[in-house]
Amino acid sequence: MDARAILDKLVSFKTVSNVSNLDLIDWVEDYLKGHGVIATRVYNEEGNKASLYANVGPDVAGGVVLSGHTDVVPVEGQAWDTDPFTVVEKDGKLFGRGTCDMKGFDALALAAVPLALERGVKRPLQIALSYDEEVGCLGAPPMIAEMRKHLPAASAVVVGEPSMMKAVSGHKGGYGWWIHVHGFEVHSSLLHTGVNAIMYGVKLIEWANQINDANIAATPSPIAAQFDPPFTTAHTGKIWGGTAHNITAKDCEFGIDFRLVPGDDIATYRDALFARVAEVEAAMQAVVPETRIEVTERFHVPPLQPENDGEAERLVRQLTGDNATHVVSYGTEAGQFQEKDYSAIICGPGDIAQAHQPNEFLEVSQFEAGQAFMAKLVDHLAE
């Protein structure tokens, strides 16, 4: 089976993040078994999704991890010209949900398995496929922890998010909290005796505005200066609350998410957020003691810090010939590998601009560049 046939197969599984990915995992496991490779699954708590990892080649240190996610974003409400779950080739492009983000890379990684075995690599190729990447990179951390325990140490991780096969050595982190303000309902004519959850909630949103104003005004660090925008941002994208115009709102819920530049410490923002929450809550409780503010962590994706002379960067530069410096503002699993002491970099086919879009596509030329990359990688591991 060549990379293109594998891509067709992978796209045919409707692995949108809100449903099981086990059909795809079953298929990949059988495919690997067909090449004599035993894969290991790491299930989620509900048991309806799994990530999968495997060591291909000798059981020695110094291999390279190829990391991809198996989930895709929904197609509902998008105007597609073709069936999103069938790869359609047209005008030098491969259309289909996930062709770009990122089943194209997954297919390249799986097609590299027989190449590595035939070539008799001296250091292993390691395959790592996660779930729930698109909903906050939830699936990778438990898989990475298992890989750390059971696989020989790898010298580099290539996360194949679409980067036009460029070596991307840094990205922002993402941290999200969900905030539920529990107020107290009274008729609004007596608002001084009630606690309006909306009106207290906006004090926290205004705090986020002040964080942004301060960060915009500050001078960026040299690492931050590479990003657009060159500072950490705080954002509320969704809010819900209240029942009627003449009732003080009993509930208000909203998110506050941070996109963190490498080098900024999330603990600083978290402590400041919680301090502000405590202040606002104290003011609410001075009016009605049983009111409160509940804060829940929604996701946590560490930034990818550009490494000093990192092994992954050196390898990908050598294989692609790309010697420029690239950073991106989207989060990936690369930061999670790096957090567990792997040297990690992003390099994958396709343009992030096509990810998540209707008529998502991967250019055939990018897919071919990916195949050339894999061939060189296998040569490198055979040296």
Residues that bind Zn ion (CB under 5 A): 101-102, 161
Cβ of residue 79: shortest distance to Zn ion, in angstroms? 22
**Cβ closer to Zn ion: 134 or 311?**
134
Residue at shortest CB range from Zn ion: 101
CA distance 75 to 85: 10
Cβ of residue 332: shortest distance to Zn ion, in angstroms? 7
Cβ of residue 275: shortest distance to Zn ion, in angstroms? 34
Work out whether the CA dihedral 314, 320, 322, 328 comes out positive or negative.
Answer: negative
42 CB-near residues (< 8 Å, 6+ apart)? 50, 51, 52, 53, 142, 143, 146
Cβ of residue 340: shortest distance to Zn ion, in angstroms? 19
**Cβ closer to Zn ion: 101 or 264?**
101
Going by C-alpha positions, the residue among 379, 342, 7, 369 that lies closest to residue 166 is 369
Cβ of residue 334: shortest distance to Zn ion, in angstroms? 11
**Cβ closer to Zn ion: 50 or 197?**
50
**Cβ closer to Zn ion: 260 or 346?**
346
**Cβ closer to Zn ion: 139 or 241?**
139
CA distance 113 to 383: 16
Cβ of residue 362: shortest distance to Zn ion, in angstroms? 12
Cβ of residue 71: shortest distance to Zn ion, in angstroms? 8
CA distance 104 to 107: 5
Cβ of residue 28: shortest distance to Zn ion, in angstroms? 17
**Cβ closer to Zn ion: 171 or 276?**
171
Cβ of residue 233: shortest distance to Zn ion, in angstroms? 21
**Cβ closer to Zn ion: 147 or 352?**
352
**Cβ closer to Zn ion: 8 or 101?**
101
Cβ–Cβ < 8 Å for 163, 326: yes
CA distance 138 to 115: 31
**Cβ closer to Zn ion: 208 or 346?**
346
CA distance 148 to 253: 38
